[in-house]
Structure 1
Amino acid sequence: MNAHDPGTSRSPGWARWLGLGPAREDERAPRPAQTTDTQQEPAESPADKRRRHVLEDITRFLMGHGLPISPHTLTIAHDVVTGANPALVRLVGEHVASGAPLTVEWLEETVRCDEEESGARQIHALVRKLEGAIAQFGCTATAARSATTSYNETLAEQVDALGGIAPCQEASSAIEALTSVAREMLRRTRDMEREISRSERETEALQRSLEDARREAEIDHLTGLPNRRAFEAVFEDELALAKDKNEPLCVAFCDIDRFKRVNDTHGHEAGDRVLRTVAQALAELSNDKCHVARHGGEEFVVLLRGSNLATACTVLDETRETIAARRLVNRATNTPFGRISFSAGVADVHAYPNRKSALRAADEALFRAKLAGRNRVIAAGQDDWNGFRVIPPDPASGTAA
């Protein structure tokens, strides 16, 4: 039976829920007792049985979907069949139910997106902890002030009482009581000071953790560029600055031409190196007014404040020419990649009612650049479908990577 045969599903366990493999032999029928003339074979411990079942489910998951055996796929399979990653289990279940095949590429992209979402969840958890720590710190400070006030009032009462009595045995007792109160006040005040210092250290540590987690969650780890989430925050800030300073602002989508062919021909590891190469070239544009991020897949987004539409197109065209002029070689096979280029669509953000509309216009311009022959930059809003055509149609563009 294959992995999708409903007759092979098993009710308990994540693998059974996903319908990923046939029932185990020990679940089809009870095993006969195994005895010998001398001694019965030792029974399998529950822990060993659980480990064996996990290994069987991992094997069925990989074999049932024709996946290669590697550390990465073994980790993914473990998280699915054991339910260690519920979000991934749900996504895999929905994908299998749709009838689409499970591939390494789909799993890698799904895991990558899940890790990004996990990073966002960690940030939110840290924010909640930080808010709780700050609230606790406030309570501690309030308690310290209240305690100090109370001790001061008691001390004042004792001083007043001392001033109203004549020197005698009663005065000696009052002085002794006053000394005791002062000592207790000092001890408790010092305890409060230590508690306040501890709360301050915890707050500072949480703030550092929050900042580290935010940076971690906003970086695309393959290219080292900011990711889509980080770009959206920067876009909002830069638009506000551009409006405040009356500066032009342009946004562009850049997409590597025929990137699927690179992956299919040279493999995904080589494709990742091409992604990093293009990312590094675009990153050289970055400064206080130019921000580059990976938007997803082989697509990058660029924000240029202080550059009008023509200037932004020229800046991107120069980078496009630099990349297209390089002759990259797959180091693993010593095979040339062919020409690596990108197409781009650029939009004047101020020409649209909001950021979403400007992004849509840039994306549409990118689509036109692809249809016009790739390896070119096109400005949004131009009647000519060639738009801002930085190079003539290339008859040899079909050989580009």
Structure 2
Amino acid sequence: MIFHDSIQEAKQYGRDAVKEMTARNIPATPDNYAVWYAYVSGRDPDLSRMISILDGNGQSFTAAICSDLYNKSFASGIDEAALNATTDRIESEMKRILSYVGEAGQGAANYSTTLATAHGDILDSKNVESLTSAVTKVLTETRKMEEMNKNLEHQLANSTDEIGQLRDDLEDMRKEAMTDALTGIANRKLFDMELRDLAKEAQETGDELSLLMLDIDHFKKFNDTYGHQTGDQVLKLLASTMTKTVKGDDIPARYGGEEFCVILPGTNLKDATAVAENIRQRVSSKTLVNRTTKEDLGKLTISIGVGQFDLGESLADLIKRADQALYEAKHSGRDCVKTQNDIGANTQTFN
């Protein structure tokens, strides 16, 4: 999670985080501090919802619950049990391969000794019988070596297949850890990684890079009226529309709650604004209908802020600028696109 707070904001959030932990008798460990800093700053709607539910149910914030909150919001997202199991399988397979190679090496050494002995026997042979015996010994050991090599080839082929499967398993785990479970698009962790890498690339090449920040208008009211399940369907609809609208190397991602982002490499502010407007129009053109009751749920609208990366600036500045443009869109009637050029002098960050 990227924090882009001023020194004064960070101090206040830090004090508020400690106050919240103290009120709930939660030890101020680094992991817990990260959770409650994010909570009081209000930048992670999913985390805020989880804590509100726990508070509403009167649950105590045990070590297990605190650990779960941290893992859901900050950890890598990889199932540790599955990762450990895969690691154990890789270690086991490597030991098997080393065993195969060791056996083959010993067999090759024995074969070499046999050939050296047979060579001497052949040179010392005085008759056909002794020569035949020496040649037969070489033939027998050669066949043994051939059979051993066949077994080694078969064993190594099996190990290759197993390692290939393990590689695929690890790739699946990596993708799962970087994908938003509800919408199927990039999650916050992958967004942070991709934005960092693309900004670094832009620094090196001088290419343009833009960022869209999207927020569903009146989503809380929609959720309260129709329920979280319907709200989840709306989130999936927006993610699907974004994915179908963007092209090439563009990266749509869920930033948190009802906020989404699109990273647009090789795109200037003008073209990024056109992409944003295209997304907005496609979303607003859809009519929401409850599939079960056939109830007309009205129109879905979104507000979008657009920022362009300035070479040499921090990513926090880019995100904050796009966030401020989103704030302008929200306070200009919603269902519109605003860019960093529209930011007013008194604009504050919209969370």
Q: Do the two structures share a fold, i.e. TM-score over 0.5? A: yes
Instruction: Tell me the residue number matched to 1:101.
Output: 56
SS of residue matched to 1:337: strand
Instruction: Tell me the residue number matched to 2:123.
Output: 164
**Structural mapping, 1:87-236, within 5 Å:** 100-102=55-57, 113=72, 119-121=78-80, 124-125=83-84, 128-129=87-88, 132=91, 135-136=94-95, 139-140=98-99, 142-143=101-102, 146-147=105-106, 149-168=108-127, 170-236=130-196
Identity of aligned residues (%): 26
Give how far 1:157 is off: 0.5
Q: Which of these residues, 234, 242, 248, is aligned with residue 274 of structure 1?
A: 234
Once residues 221 and 176 of structure 2 are traced to their aligned partners in structure 1, the CA distance between those partners, rounded to angstroms, is 31
Give how far 1:142 is off: 4.3
What do the CA deviations read for 1:219-260 (whole angstroms, capped 9, x no partner)? 334223222233333334433444454321011211111101
Asked whether 1:313 is paired with 2:265, we answer no
Rg comparison, structure with higher value: 1
Once residues 139 and 242 of structure 2 are traced to their aligned partners in structure 1, the CA distance between those partners, rounded to angstroms, is 73
What's the Cα RMSD here?
3.9
Once residues 283 and 156 of structure 1 are traced to their aligned partners in structure 2, the CA distance between those partners, rounded to angstroms, is 67
- Residue pair 2:97, 2:159 contacting (<8 A) in 1 also: no
Instruction: Tell me the residue number matched to 2:247.
Output: 287
Counterpart of 1:298, as a letter, is E
- Residue pair 1:126, 1:210 contacting (<8 A) in 2 also: no
- Residue pair 1:140, 1:196 contacting (<8 A) in 2 also: no
Once residues 289 and 326 of structure 2 are traced to their aligned partners in structure 1, the CA distance between those partners, rounded to angstroms, is 27
Give how far 1:207 is off: 1.7
Counterpart of 1:158, as a letter, is T
- Residue pair 2:290, 2:296 contacting (<8 A) in 1 also: yes
Gaps of 5+ in 2: 1-46, 59-64
Once residues 148 and 306 of structure 1 are traced to their aligned partners in structure 2, the CA distance between those partners, rounded to angstroms, is 59
Cα distance 1:308–1:154, how it changes in 2: closer, same or farther (>3 A)? same
User: TM-score, normalised to structure 2's length?
Assistant: 0.68
Gaps of 5+ in 1: 1-90, 388-401
Once residues 136 and 154 of structure 2 are traced to their aligned partners in structure 1, the CA distance between those partners, rounded to angstroms, is 27
What do the CA deviations read for 1:187-231 (whole angstroms, capped 9, x no partner)? 332322222112111111112222333333333342232222333
Asked whether 1:298 is paired with 2:258, we answer yes
Once residues 112 and 326 of structure 1 are traced to their aligned partners in structure 2, the CA distance between those partners, rounded to angstroms, is 36
Instruction: Tell me the residue number matched to 2:9.
Output: none
Higher relative contact order (CA 8 A, sep 6+): 2
Instruction: Tell me the residue number matched to 2:290.
Output: 330
Once residues 314 and 100 of structure 2 are traced to their aligned partners in structure 1, the CA distance between those partners, rounded to angstroms, is 45
- Residue pair 1:218, 1:226 contacting (<8 A) in 2 also: yes
- Residue pair 2:90, 2:166 contacting (<8 A) in 1 also: no
